[in-house]
Amino acid sequence: MSQDVERIEHDVQAALDGEEASIAERVRAITLRALSQGVLDAAALRKVMGAVVTGAQQGIARPGGERTAALREAVRGLDEALVSAAEATQLAVQEAASRTGEFSRESLKTAVDQLGALESQFVDTLADAAKSASGHAQATLRDLAEHARNSGTAVGGRVGSALSQLARAVPAAAREQVEGGRQTLRNEATLLASLAAGVLRGIADRLHAAPPDKTEPPPTDRSN
């Protein structure tokens, strides 16, 4: 993946220096930008999630920076970004399934399985980060991971909806067999992950598009 891990960490760390009310939105934007570059696959998701959480930990580790609320907001921003990633993956799989003969059922099923594991991957990232953290950061990350396991996450809700729709779309659309074996499957997986990243770029652009200016004054009557 082309986005550098250190850059993600640095950007998230800087996001926690801003107003607390803007942290979640800034972290979501950073995460979306990172995930929409290259390919959107399980490896990229692990890499970006780990970098975001590390950057958030660094952001509250500075002098006077033991701000658990800021860390919670950063994790919320990550969760919201993963909702968009789940949506992008769903749309990419649906698009691929509609291209009769281009993608095998096995490739699409693999993508669906990876989507289904996204919430647990997110929770595991929080739990793993808690193990290596200390102080307030450790307690907060451990609490966030436990709460996510018990009560669910935003991305988990989105994944559940996506899986129910894909269960109907995938089996009927894709061909049964893959010619060319493992290399063909790898090629299909890369193409599908690239397609998902492209869809995510569109979602990110839509989310951050400026709202129309509703303050424009009415036309001036020039008849006089």
- What does pTM read for this prediction? 0.86
CA–CA dist 99, 209 (Å, integer) = 30
What's the pLDDT band for 43 if we cut at 50, 70, 90?
very high
Q: Which tokens hold the place of 195?
A: 């397609």
DSSP 8-state secondary structure symbol assigned to residue 218: P
> For 194-223, how does the pLDDT look when each residue is reduced to its tens digit (9 = 90+)?
999 999 999 988 877 655 444 444 544 444
Q: Which tokens hold the place of 170?
A: 């995938």
Report the pLDDT value the prediction gives residue 4, as an integer from 0 to 100.
Answer: 87
pLDDT of residue 164 exceeding 80:
yes
> For 56-109, how does the pLDDT look when each residue is reduced to its tens digit (9 = 90+)?
998 887 655 458 899 999 999 999 999 999 999 999 999 988 886 778 888 888
Please work out, in degrees rounded to the nearest 5, the angle formed at the alpha carbon of residue 27 by the alpha carbons of 36 and 207: 55
> For 115-158, how does the pLDDT look when each residue is reduced to its tens digit (9 = 90+)?
999 999 999 999 999 999 988 889 999 999 999 999 999 999 99
What's the pLDDT band for 176 if we cut at 50, 70, 90?
low
| 151-167: average pLDDT | 94
If DSSP states are collapsed to H, E and C, what string results for 34-90? HHCCCCCCHHHHHHHHHHHHHHHHHHHCCCCCCCHHHHHHHHHHHHHHHHHHHHHHH
| 23-47: average pLDDT | 94
Report the pLDDT value the prediction gives residue 2, as an integer from 0 to 100.
Answer: 42
Report the pLDDT value the prediction gives residue 187, as an integer from 0 to 100.
Answer: 87
Report the pLDDT value the prediction gives residue 214, as an integer from 0 to 100.
Answer: 46
